[in-house]
Structure 1
Amino acid sequence: MVRKMLGWLAAAVVAAGFAAVYITMTGVPDDTGGRFGQASDSSESVAIWVHSEGLAEMLGEFQTEHPELELDIRTFRSGMLLYEELTAAISTRTTPHIAELDSLYGVAQLAETGALLPVESEMEDTPWKDSMPRAFTAPFRYREHDWAVPFGAGLPVLYANMSLLKNAGFQAQPSFSGWEEALAASEKMTKDVNGDGSNDFWGIAVDREQSWYFQSLLSDKEGKLDDGNGASSAFALWKRFVYGSGVMKPLQHRLAASDFINGRAGLFVSGSDRLPMLERYIGGKFAFEMTPLPRLAQTAILPEIRALAPIRSTPEKERAALRVIKHMIGDETQQRIIRQLGLLPSRIDIADKLAGESNLSERERYVLEAAGSLAVKTAAAGDAKRWNKIGELLETIELMPDASAEKAAESLRSAAGD
């Protein structure tokens, strides 16, 4: 009998141990008072999820200056992957303390969960909105609350390999008046050098955030999309990339950046946030320039605003998270945003100050001077659904030569109306 009791006691101890490990690893809280468990619950640790290239390094600088706080940083390959993981983490109460959010999707959905901490009351001592254009703050305001603090904005741009353009007969810096001119140049740069039936050089490569670039072709000053004739024209243009003009490899967006870096693509549709990476890896292999996207139906620049959102936690963790967020909008950090992240600083006073400096490159100057041309997009419940729907429709356009641009536009309108 004693042996059985000892066995039961040992089993109970083991079970308790497993339970403790489970709670520690998953961050499941031991109360139900509205707290969200975090991925890292050490009293000195702040868990942060980011996706912007170079942001982890900038946060590492904060870590060096504040050794009393340990930053547990997890980097994602894209904003959508982070958003999907964060949505899942909220349901299992294993959230980080800070998450990077994008302006084009997910803000409303995340706010509805109750997991985000409204920042307007928590940052009353820092009048952060006074120095930011509405284009930066509006996407993160939903139901009369601000849910994240913007630190920078990526702009949709067109990078051009000047060596390939020169070989195609273009001598000056490209400034395409429209997509017809850009397509004409792309066709001349698309070549099968060795005659094996497969192109060795492509005229256009489009980076992995196709939904952003597509919406950038349709946006007005309020961030609304021309989902009628404009959308049909945009889908038709995309189809020409692959089948009409044959200047883009289909379904190869994750390799687009490497194709451009390796000199295999003449034009590269991407974001200004790629600029530091391109400068680092291209080096002196060839000259390249950065220009605005050629005009289709857009009347404003649709930025992808990057922001940091604090997640509900203990008061101690929330205070620590806000310290990190305030660091990202401080004077010194904001002055480094353009060089280190390729983003337009969220504070207009800093952007204006930098624009007056004489040591700027033309690429950096274009980013800094774009603040007055940005679309002002507000958060909507259907943003994430529209983002994913556009991605699905573009994949169909690239995959099926007989896909209809008009039907794709109609499908997009139907999805937006749901």
Structure 2
Amino acid sequence: MLTGFLLCAGCLIAAMIFWSGSPPSQGRENGESTSMNVWLYDEELMPFLERYEKQNPGLNLNIRSFRSWNALYEELLKAISANAAPHIAEIGSTYGVAQLVQRGIVRPVDPATAAYADRIGEPFTAAFSYDGQQWAVPIGGSVPVVYSNRNLFHTANAGQPPADWAAIKRAGGKIVKDVDQDGKTDIWGLVADPSMAWVHMNAAYDAGTGSWDSERLLGSFGRWRDYVDVSRMTPPLQHELAESQFIYGKAGMLISSSQKRAVLEKYIGGKFDFDIAALPQDERDGGLLLDARGFAVMTSDAREEALSRQAIRYLLDEQVQTELLHAASLIPARADIADSLLRSGDLTERETAVMQIAERLAVKPAEADDERRWRSYTDEQEKLETYPDSSVDIGL
């Protein structure tokens, strides 16, 4: 009887430590200081880690921020080769998970953290699963969406925000305009940010079967060839400018990440109103591919790895997860928090739209070919826009 009581008490204490995010006290009481290197590419997550640092005297987090997942990934590969990897790294799920695992630098998620996987949405845990293990703790993520300028839609009599690709083409064709009649397009129907590979992967992945569809992939590239070269409602080779084009009212629609919502709201201000809709998925049942953010523990000594895990667990704390949508424009990884936010009635119209779209996420584990797909589809998109008559050479 006593043994059972002590066991239950131990489990309760372990759970309290996990969700409080408090690190082991060893080294704090005797005044020791520990420095840890953390790499991330979502600057909005930095304040959470800084808050954790303040709550834990003696812990110094040296945080380095990168402009994108690709920039962090490339630098991380160099650091691994030089035996200079950080203790903790934020990693994206779109590609690279398998490659980091294969290099032997990433530690699998520990049992204490994995035991709470039932609180994290399955699409998030699957995104960092490879070879039968989970390699990063999901914190949040974003979904591909279509933003639409209500003012331009109204002026062009383009109807409601589009729900499918056919509607996007119709609306884009009405919105595109040469305002001053100088032979140059002043307002584009549709623009897209540089993550076109994400768009094509969403078109090709069949969540129902967990397979890739070559016909849908070719159809996706064909659709963009039409937009750029036939309908001419999308500018070629201007993906880096897409966000600013939409902000300044120079594009009717923008395909981008749901995380861009806060940036658009900030810089658009009251110039015009805009809507958010899910990226169309053709005529099939299935979910959208998530761009998940996870934090991984890099190989180091046992004490540093334990401290790294505790720091990462803090980001699963209820308060942190609840604040993610407002503070970082990220969908929280914890399903219970996501449900609570939707039921709260405290979300804005656009935040509610994003959280509702997030209920349609696909469950897709990391694959070794994800990086090849991303690089290949990005290169082929550039080729298509540079040489419209060229053939598309892609593989699943």
Higher RCO, 1 vs 2 (CA within 8 Å, ≥6 residues apart): 2
Which of 354, 362, 382 pairs up with 2:369? 382
Q: 1:318 to 1:324 in 2, by over 3 A?
A: same
Mapping of residues 20-35 of structure 1, within 5 Å? none
Q: How far apart, CA to CA, are the structure 2 residues paired with 1:263 and 1:223?
A: 40
- Per the alignment, residue 360 of structure 2 pairs with 373
Aligned letter for 1:379?
A
Instruction: Please name the residue that 2:24 is paired with.
Output: none
Say yes or no: does 1:230 pair with 2:216.
yes
Per-residue CA distance 1:272-325 (angstroms, 9 max, x = gap): 111111111111111011111123266321111110001111233222221221
- 1:46-74: CA deviation from partner (whole Å, max 9, x where unpaired): 21111225122332333333343222222
Once the two structures are superposed, what CA deviation does each residue of 1:129-166 show, in whole Å capped at 9, x if it has no partner? 12112211112122232210001121110001111111
Measured in 2, the distance between the counterparts of 1:133 and 1:154 equals 13
Alignment partners' CA distance in 2, 1:127 and 1:163: 49
Unaligned stretches of 5+ in structure 1? 1-41
Q: Tell me which amino acid in the other structure corresponds to 2:78.
A: A
Q: Are the aligned partners of 2:89 and 2:295 in contact in 1 as well (CA < 8 Å)?
A: yes
User: Once the two structures are superposed, what CA deviation does each residue of 1:227-256 show, in whole Å capped at 9, x if it has no partner?
Assistant: 322111101111112111111111111111
- Work out whether 1:325 is the aligned partner of 2:307: no
Q: 1:259 and 2:241 equivalent?
A: no
CA distance in 2, matches of 1:380, 1:194: 49
Deviation (angstroms), 1:222: 5.2
Q: Give the one of 129, 137, 157 matched to 1:169.
A: 157
8 Å Cα contact 2:142-2:291 kept in structure 1:
yes
- The count of residues paired between Structure 1 and Structure 2 equals 364
Kept in 2: contact 1:157–1:272 (CA 8 A): yes
| Residue 143 to residue 200, structure 1, CA distance change in 2 (3 Å) | same
CA distance in 2, matches of 1:131, 1:51: 25
* Alpha-carbon separation, structure 1, partners of 2:113 and 2:149: 47
Query: Within the alignment, does 1:84 sit opposite 2:74 as a pair?
Result: yes
| Deviation for aligned residue 1:218 | 2.7
Query: Are 1:308 and 2:287 counterparts?
Result: no
1:165-204 alignment runs, 5 A limit: 165-170=153-158, 173-174=160-161, 176-204=162-190
**In the alignment, is the contact (CA less than 8 A) between 1:53 and 1:273 conserved in 2?**
no
Q: Which residue of 2 aligns with 1:243?
A: 229
Asked whether the 8 Å contact 1:161–1:287 carries over to 2, the reply is yes
> Which amino acid letter does the alignment assign opposite residue 92 of structure 1?
A
Bigger radius of gyration = 1
In the aligned structure 1, how far is the partner of 2:190 from the partner of 2:357? Answer: 24
- Structure 1 91/376 Cα, relative in aligned 2: closer, same or farther at 3 Å? same
Residue 133 in structure 1 maps to residue 121 in structure 2? yes
Task: Give, in whole Å, the separation in 1 of the partners of 2:327 and 2:108.
Answer: 28
**Aligned position for 1:277:** 263
The answer as to 2:138 corresponding to 1:156 is: no
Which TM-score applies when normalising by structure 1? 0.82
Letter of the 1:262 partner, please give it: Y
Q: Any conservation in 1 of the 2:202–2:281 contact (CA below 8 Å)? A: no
Q: Are 2:158 and 2:170, in contact at CA under 8 Å, matched by a contact in 1? A: no
Q: Offset at 1:170?
A: 3.7
Report if aligned partners of 2:146, 2:253 keep a CA contact under 8 Å in 1: yes
CA distance in 2, matches of 1:275, 1:177: 18
Letter in 1 for 2:279: L
2:86 aligned counterpart, secondary structure: coil
Pairwise CA distance, 1:333: 0.4
Which of these residues, 137, 143, 152, is aligned with residue 131 of structure 2?
143
Rounded Cα–Cα distance in structure 2 between residues aligned with 1:305 and 1:272: 12
Q: Is the 8 A contact 2:113 2:313 kept in 1?
A: no
Equivalent-residue separation in structure 1 for 2:113 and 2:122 (angstroms) = 20
Secondary structure of the 1:412 match is coil
- Summarize the Cα distance change of 1:114–1:44 in structure 2 as closer, same or farther, 3 Å threshold: same
Question: Contact 1:217–1:297 (CA<8 Å) still a contact in 2?
Answer: no
* C-alpha distance in structure 2 between counterparts of 1:244 and 1:43, whole Å: 63
Aligned-partner Cα distance in 2 for 1:380–1:252: 30
Give the residue type in structure 2 aligned to 1:161: N
Give the match for residue 203 of structure 2: 217
SS in 2 for 1:199: coil
- The residue that corresponds to 2:384 in the other structure is 397
SS of the equivalent of 1:300 reads coil
Contact 2:176 / 2:188 at 8 angstroms: preserved in 1?
yes
The alignment status of 1:75 with 2:57, answered yes or no, reads: no
> Residues of 1 paired with 2:51 and 2:209: CA distance?
34
